[in-house]
Structures are given as structure tokens and as C-alpha cells.
Amino acid sequence: MMTALLILGPFICVWAIAAIFYYMGRRRANQLRLAEISFSQSVQNRFTSIVVNRPKTWLAVKSRNSEDVARSIGLIDLQSYSSAGGLSETNRDQIFVSPPVNGWVVVFGEGLPDPEADIDECFKFLIDMSDRLGHLQYFHGNHTLGHHAWVKVIERQVVRAYAWVGETVWNQGATTIAEKKSGMRAFDYFEEDSDSYINWETVRRNVEQLPLLASIWSIDPVVLLDMSVRVKPGWIGRFSVKRIGKN
């Protein structure tokens, strides 16, 4: 028996190591495929007038545990949810927390703060959430009004923030390489351009390129429509107290 173990032991170890590498390779391949879906869908949105079914406002949280995210942001009445249809079917008071994808969890719903209503409330909310969750990103795009925002906060420190709601109400941190590569431009405070058409073209491009920026910084919510993600459970809940300045 001992002799057999000594003979077979090395082969068993080799097979075990091979199985581990195979699993890791499959997992990495799936991660890359989802990243490609997110990026390619974001790029496609640049060349089409059809607006992909994305939430108007969403958070991207660096985490691999969606339930932990849901509880950390203070949601109550939590229910497991496994349909990407939640991109458009959440009720007004519901907050959807996606399953983790490539190390990111997407949070969206009309209960999230709206920079159009109260930029101070938005700032306080993001700092509070970063204190609980660490690294999070905030995106907002209103195609009708052109209002938009993108924010990155890590451990309560605002790395980059920009919000435009008819005028610039928040511009903090240096312009990132991702913004430049996406062709986006942030107006300075009180900046005025004599050519209103150029102004509006810049605003329109910023809103259209927002998903592309999200896919570079973290993840574009469009990836939640992929079948491999739709079968995974996420969470739906609501804030215990309605937030002011919500969408």
C-alpha cells in the first residue's frame, strides 16, 4: 500500500496542480470575456443613437460579496434576486445590488442621491459609503437634460469627482487618463463658452461616453445582461429612510 502511494503520489500531485491551473485559467478567461463585453458594448454605444438599457445612476463597489455590500449600505428587507431585468424593473424605492463581476458589484436604483437635486447630499452619501466599503465609484447620466457626473472615492478620499447639472457643481482632483482617452471634458467652475453649440456637444459627448469611462475605471452595468451573470443571485432592498435628493 505504501509503495503504491509512493508511486502514485507524484502523479496525483501533478493532476491536482493541473486541475487547479485549469480552474484558474477558465475563471480568468471568463473574467476577460465579461470585461470585453463591458468594453465593447460601451464602445458600440458611441456609434448608435439607441441608448443601451442602463440605469441613470449607479455605483460600482470594489467587492466580491454582494450581500456584504447590500448590508453595508444600509439596505433593509433584503431579498435574493437573480434577474438582470432589474436594470429597468426595480420599483421606485428599491435598490438593486448585482452579483460580483470581475471584483465589482453594481448598485443602482432611484433611491441613490441625485446631483441634480442636491450635490452636498451626494457628496456626504459617497463619503459615508466609502467609509463603509472602501473603494467605490459613482456615475450619473441624464440623456434628456445632459446632466452627468463621475466620481471615484477610496477610503473617504475623493480621487476624482466631476458633476455638471447645467453648470459645474463639483470638480475635484486631476483629470484622469481614462477621461482623456474617452474624449471627455470637464468644465471649470463658472466657465462660460461663447459658442453654446460647442458647449452642448461637449455635454452630449460626456453623457454618451460615461459607460466607456465606467468600463475603464471599473465596470459598465451592461455586462449584467450577459447570461453568465444573469443566473447569479444579487440582492434587492430599500433604504430604511428615504434619501433626500433622490432620482
CA geometry: angle at 143 spanning 138 and 147, to 5°? 55
Amino acid at 29: A
- Of 166, 158, 161, 110, nearest to 135 by C-alpha is 158
Q: What is the pLDDT of residue 231?
A: 74
Give the DSSP letter of residue 64.
S
Q: Is 115 helix (H, G, I), strand (E, B) or coil?
A: coil
Percent of the chain with pLDDT over 70: 69
Q: Is the pLDDT assigned to residue 126 strictly greater than 90?
A: yes
> What DSSP character marks residue 63?
-
SS3 140: strand
- Cβ(147)–Cβ(115) under 8 Å? yes
Q: Cα(159)–Cα(23) distance, rounded to whole angstroms? A: 35
Tell me the sheet residues that pair with 151: 138, 161
**Band of pLDDT at residue 81, cut at 50, 70 and 90:** confident
For residue 112, the Cα-to-chain-centroid distance in whole angstroms is 13
Q: What is the mean pLDDT of the chain?
A: 80
Q: Please report the pLDDT score of residue 69 as a whole number.
A: 96
Average pLDDT over residues 71-100: 79
Can you give the pLDDT at residue 240? 84
35 — pLDDT class (breaks 50, 70, 90): very low
